[in-house]
Amino acid sequence: MQRRVFIQLSAYTAAALALPFTNGCTTKSIDAEAQPLFFSHLVDAKTIAEAGRAYRRANQKEDDENKLRALLLGTSGLPASSDDKTIRTMLDSKVNIDFKTGKVTMVNGWVLSLTEARQCALFSILQS
């Protein structure tokens, strides 16, 4: 193989491998409060969105992005500038408390905490 051909092929290969890491190939960023952490370990994004749409249909009063954000973060006492890790930690704590206190709901056959169901609803809004 000639050196010129080898260098061209190497450059093309490097470009092809790097292409998936460019900004145009990334998915839409989702806010921390719209990510039901434990539930997302069990199911895919499609199932989370479906559960969120089902919850929104069953709870018409909460079918609004701002209302859901207020319900998820409103009583937390966290400043609006909190980082994602702090928000996730607080919401995980709320999920645990929901299960311990019986604040659960059945959504599409899944038993979810009220906080998880609201996170799924927010996720479904942000994905549409």
Q: What is the per-residue pLDDT for 2?
A: 64
For 51-65, letters b (16+ CB in 10 Å) and e give bbbbbbeebeebbee
For 54-100, what is the HEC assignment? Answer: HHHHHCHHHCCHHHHHHHHHCCCCCCCCCCHHHHHHHHHHHHHHHHH
Please give the single-letter amino acid code of residue 40: S
CB of 76 within 8 A of CB of 21?
no
Is the predicted pLDDT of residue 75 greater than 50, yes or no? Answer: yes
Evaluate the CA torsion angle 52, 57, 62, 67 in order and state its sign: positive
- Identify the residue whose tokens are 């709901």: 105
Segment 9-67, tens digit of pLDDT: 666 565 555 544 444 444 455 677 788 888 888 899 999 999 999 999 999 999 999 99
| Closest by CA position to 72, among listed 58, 52, 54 | 52
Per the prediction, the chain carries an average pLDDT of 81
For 109-120, letters b (16+ CB in 10 Å) and e give ebebbbbbbbbb
* pTM attached to this predicted model: 0.73
Local structure of 106: helix, strand or coil? strand
Q: What is the per-residue pLDDT for 23?
A: 42
